[in-house]
Amino acid sequence: MGDDFLIAETNKGWYENLQFICHSYRVLKIYLMVFMGGHGMSTSREAGWFYRHCGMGLLLAGLFLFAAVLSGFVPEWGPLSAMASGKDDVALTPASIPDLVERLSPTVVNISTAKVIKNPLTKRDFNQKGLGSGFIISEDGYIFTNNHVVDKADKIKVKLADGKEYDAEIKGRDANTDLALIKITAPAKLPYARLGDSDRCRIGEGVIAIGNPLGLDHTVTAGIISAKGRVIGAGPYDNFIQTDASINPGNSGGPLCNLAGEVVGINTAIVAGAQGIGFAIPINMAKAILSDLKTSGKITRGWLGVTSQDITDDMRQSLKLKDRQGVLVGNVFAGDPADKAGIKIGDVILGIAGKTVKDERELGQIVATLHVGSKVDIKVFRDGKEMTFPIVIAERKDGQDQASGSGVIEQFDMTAQEVTPEIARYFALPEKTGVIITDVKAGGLADEAGLKPRDIILKVNNIEISDLKEYEAAMTAGDKGDALLMLIRRGKENFFVTIKKGKEEKK
């Protein structure tokens, strides 16, 4: 139920309490008149004195009772009794968290994985085990979790709240958003979680997290939404919900729920060494790719065919814009959708597909969710006036920079992007330090060298890297066959890896 309903119900309860007090006052008034008449209080002065003092006492008692009801000391009457009754319309109150947990726990699952790893020294195989969480989204056994929970797993086991275990298969996954869809086959219909609308979440709103931290089944923690739209360098589509609900290793893939019992996020990341800082993928991002994961197992994303940059205050004044909303087009790729639609260098993109564009990151996220082949309107500002053009969305290919002036570079079977100020703060780095790896192709050169997403490339062949331009120059310098010596930051540790240039990249 919404806030308006709760307020209306609360006001109704207060009104009913007031009615009760007034009715009691009238009843006692009649009783006093009879009482006075029967006990010789015939003079108006005597009756008036008695009536005034009794009436005043009753009024004060009534006000005290009313205050007690509102304060919760008399829970049998008024809105507080409704709030404590366990009905569906009390989901917004902290007192209902036990009821929410009781309803949500059967939808949360524990995920254990195993993959065979070859020991490079002994050449022997051994099983590497992993733990994570997930939640059921349909009665036929589809489950949302994180991609990093099930990535490269040879075997996946799902344990339900009632202790039953099932083998699971991966139906689809997306490394860019760290989302995966797995499925189990159960003999009966399964309880499933209700998916909410993460766009409507508000900072300060209460949430609960349920998962399998450190192997502790169905652990429940509570907190609030601390921030929205966080960029932490996990991938090109970072848009995390930050929460202070305790999240630990093993919580990954579990639900972050609002107090209406709806899943609004998928718990994904923490800041090592910090307390009360966890991150969840907005559920709307997961819902947007659910169909693709089910039908094809992979994600097709929209492609506009432009590079862009955020608008500075100087640019705003020069372009005579009323604010800094939108992005400035720096390049239009010939033959791509934007070019065919008539978009030009210097246009300011204000909106697309009915959504307002705030900055280049938001443009990239919106375009990525548009269906390939769909025809939408794009609103631009040109020569002092707004214009609208129809545009047909194309498919983004791997390695294409969908809409970012800072860009991404894909080479040696990995994708890298610049370290933004938010990413620098997250990793406790000075700004303009290195580039961050956002994706590594399985079995590729970077994977063989031991590189992973979220690694920071600090130096290449002893050349310090501060942005993508320096990174690209360092990676392309030298002759074919030369080895690139790269200094990498992972967590709090630095180490070196080498990649040999000229070796055939694996596709």
- 224 sits in which H/E element: strand 219-230
Please check whether residue 475 is in contact with residue 484, taking contact to mean a CB–CB distance below 8 angstroms: yes
- Residue 369 zone, left/alpha/beta (φ > 0; ψ -120 to 50; rest): alpha
What integer pLDDT is reported at residue 149 of this predicted model? 94
| Token pair for 495 | 């180490």
**To the nearest 10°, the Cα dihedral for 259, 261, 264, 267?**
90
Q: What is the pLDDT of residues 173-194, one digit of tens each?
A: 988 889 999 999 999 999 999 9
What integer pLDDT is reported at residue 480 of this predicted model? 62
Catalytic residue among 96, 112, 133, 148: 148
What integer pLDDT is reported at residue 28 of this predicted model? 55
Q: Let me know if 53 is a catalytic residue.
A: no
What integer pLDDT is reported at residue 482 of this predicted model? 72
Amino acid at 77: W
In sequence order, what E strands does 406-505 have?
Answer: 408-411, 414-418, 435-440, 456-460, 463-464, 483-490, 493-500
Q: Let me know if 138 is a catalytic residue.
A: no
CA distances from 128 to 117, 134, 147 (A): 7, 20, 17
Give the helix, strand, coil percentages of the chain, each rounded to 5: 30, 35, 40
- Please report the DSSP string for 305-328 in residue order: -EEEEEPPHHHHHHHT-SSS-SEE
CA distances from 133 to 172, 196, 221, 285, 372 (A): 17, 19, 14, 18, 32
What integer pLDDT is reported at residue 484 of this predicted model? 85
Catalytic residue among 174, 178, 238, 347: 178
What integer pLDDT is reported at residue 307 of this predicted model? 82
What integer pLDDT is reported at residue 440 of this predicted model? 82
Residue located via tokens 């109150």 = 93
Please check whether residue 419 is in contact with residue 435, taking contact to mean a CB–CB distance below 8 angstroms: yes
What integer pLDDT is reported at residue 350 of this predicted model? 94
Angle separating helix axes 3-38 and 44-71, nearest 10 degrees: 160
Nearest-5° Cα angle at 170, 164 to 173: 130
CA distances from 251 to 146, 197, 267, 332 (A): 10, 21, 6, 43
Catalytic residue among 252, 308, 404, 406: 252
Q: What is the DSSP letter of 245?
A: S
Q: Let me know if 252 is a catalytic residue.
A: yes
Instruction: Please choose, from the candidates 275, 213, 197, 225, the residue with its C-alpha nearest in 3D space to the C-alpha of residue 250.
Output: 213
**Alpha-helix runs per DSSP H in 312-455:** 313-319, 337-341, 360-369, 421-426, 445-448
What integer pLDDT is reported at residue 78 of this predicted model? 39
Task: Give pLDDT < 70 ranges for the chain.
Answer: 1-95, 120, 272-274, 398-408, 421-422, 425-427, 431-432, 478-481, 501-507
In the chain, the domains with their CATH numbers are: 3-90 (no CATH), 91-298 (2.40.10.120), 302-395 (2.30.42.10), 408-500 (2.30.42.10)
Q: Confirm whether pTM is higher than 0.75.
A: no
